[in-house]
């Protein structure tokens, strides 16, 4: 069973930064597009960013464009989401996910996903 594992969440003040990681022990992330979603209680899961494997294409939701950066380190089998200039609206549980395709399906949909992580909470508050 594939397990995606997110880490790096926490409490940060407005304007601060966090770097999330997504790893997958025993599963090679290199081959697949990896997406980041977030969810606030009572709201639908929202696609935040995606990085393709085939051509390295990168996508961002308008709400995070210019503040978030997605990247991958194939040697470490890890995908990152660098989040800068955070604000209260970024507070959510963040999930990494893959539909095991090599290119992102953008805009992201929260169906058709093969594997989800359990999420890491991000709280932006003073």
The two beta strands, 92-98 and 34-39, are antiparallel
Sequence-distant (≥ 6) Cβ neighbours of residue 70 within 8 angstroms: 34, 36, 49, 50, 51, 58, 60, 79, 80, 81, 82
DSSP H/E element including 52: none
79 beta partners: 22, 72
- pLDDT tens profile 46-91: 999 999 998 889 999 999 999 999 999 999 999 999 999 999 999 9
pLDDT interval class at 39 (50, 70, 90): very high
Q: So what's the pLDDT on residue 105?
A: 93
């Amino acid at each position: 069973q594939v397990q995606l594992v997110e880490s790096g969440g926490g409490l940060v003040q407005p304007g601060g930064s966090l770097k999330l990681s997504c790893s997958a022990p025993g599963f090679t992330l290199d081959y697949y597009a990896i997406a980041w979603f977030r969810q606030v209680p009572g709201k639908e899961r929202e696609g935040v960013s995606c990085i393709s494997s085939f051509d390295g294409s990168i996508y961002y939701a308008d709400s995070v464009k210019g503040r978030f950066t997605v990247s991958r380190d194939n040697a470490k089998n890890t995908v990152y989401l660098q989040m800068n200039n955070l604000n209260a609206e970024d507070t959510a549980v963040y999930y990494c996910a893959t539909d095991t395709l090599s290119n992102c399906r953008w805009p992201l949909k929260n169906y058709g996903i093969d594997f989800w992580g359990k999420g890491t909470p991000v709280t932006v508050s003073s």
